[in-house]
Amino acid sequence: MVGNGFTVPPAEMPRFPLLHRIVPPAFDEARTLETVNTAAARVGLPRLDRLPQLFAGDACLAQCFRLLDPYDAQRVSPVQGPVFEELPMSRAADAKQVFAYLSNDTNAWTFALEALLRVAERLRIYAPLWPQAPLDRLAAAGARVETRPQPITTVLAASRLIVHFGGSGLASEALVAGVPQLVFGDHIEHNLYGEALERAGIARLVPTYLPDTRLEPHAIRALIDDDAMVDRAAALGSRLRTTAARHDALAHCEAICMDLLRASHP
């Protein structure tokens, strides 16, 4: 089993921890375990003693940084680190750009537009699902509006701040590049990553799943001007980049998969 920390919970846990208090649990864990065991019996599979055993396997690789592992306190085996197609470069010391990667939401402009207009002269944005009108307003104010996905390694090296929806992949790349982040947490997983980044002092989380969420017009400017946050992000990025360079998570995963294939076909 391979995934990030959120999608590969530790099978050794006695039960699932409460990761957030945004809403109460939808299902009782004991009853869910009973349902799983009833279904397992019908197809001749062994019973589970604990519901997290659903995630047991011959190999379980959580490919993420510890910082972005929601189960860090419960995990016994070390995480493997994220897989990068290309290891992000360090943010340039004179980086000034604000890059907004908002590709998977059509409504973010309703709460983010005014704040983005405040920094339009240094903004580069990719938001292909937005209506044309807000993009035209940004372009008229000086923003560079992209119509195609951009090479993130190059983009991050030139960015003072990145604005995104909190996906683990982009969050990890920004971490390694040492770029502060503004995270729009549009669901639980992304909210957890945003909280972790905010606790580390290198990001601000905006919980966009709340109906009355607004991004204050001065908020992005305040993040740009936060030199202490920039320094923290750079220091953490340097450490994580060294770690990622020493440990090839993809090669490690491939080696384990090959070992499993050889063991199953001697």
3-state helix, strand, coil in the chain (%, to 5): 40, 10, 45
Burial zone of 64 (CB within 10 Å; 0-12 exposed, 13-18 middle, 19+ buried) = buried
Please check the confidence at residue 195 and state whether its pLDDT lies above 80: yes
- 12: pLDDT confidence band, cut at 50, 70 and 90? very high
What is the pLDDT, as a whole number, of residue 264? 82
Q: How far apart are CA 20 and CA 209, in angstroms?
A: 14
Report the mean per-residue pLDDT for the chain: 93
Task: Report the percentage of the chain scoring pLDDT > 70.
Answer: 100
What is the pLDDT, as a whole number, of residue 262? 87
What is the pLDDT, as a whole number, of residue 237? 97
Please check the confidence at residue 213 and state whether its pLDDT lies above 90: no
Please state the pTM of the whole predicted model: 0.92
Residues whose CB is less than 8 angstroms from the CB of residue 153 and which lie 6 or more positions away in sequence, other chains included: 86, 87, 88, 89, 173, 177
* In 77-185, beta strands by DSSP E: 97-101, 123-126, 144-146, 159-164, 181-184
What is the pLDDT, as a whole number, of residue 99? 97
Q: Is 132 helix (H, G, I), strand (E, B) or coil?
A: helix
Burial zone of 232 (CB within 10 Å; 0-12 exposed, 13-18 middle, 19+ buried) = middle
Please check the confidence at residue 186 and state whether its pLDDT lies above 90: no
Instruction: Give ranges for CATH 3.40.50.2000 in the chain.
Output: 97-245
Mean pLDDT of 135-157: 95
Q: Is 93 helix (H, G, I), strand (E, B) or coil?
A: coil
- pLDDT tens track for 235-244: 999 999 999 9
Task: Report the percentage of the chain scoring pLDDT > 90.
Answer: 76
- pLDDT tens track for 105-124: 778 888 899 999 999 999 99
Burial zone of 110 (CB within 10 Å; 0-12 exposed, 13-18 middle, 19+ buried) = middle
Q: Is 266 helix (H, G, I), strand (E, B) or coil?
A: coil
Q: How far apart are CA 8 and CA 69, in angstroms?
A: 10
Report whether 116 contacts 138 (CB < 8 A).
yes
Report whether 112 contacts 215 (CB < 8 A).
yes
Provide the CATH number for the domain formed by 97-245 in this structure: 3.40.50.2000
- 104: pLDDT confidence band, cut at 50, 70 and 90? confident
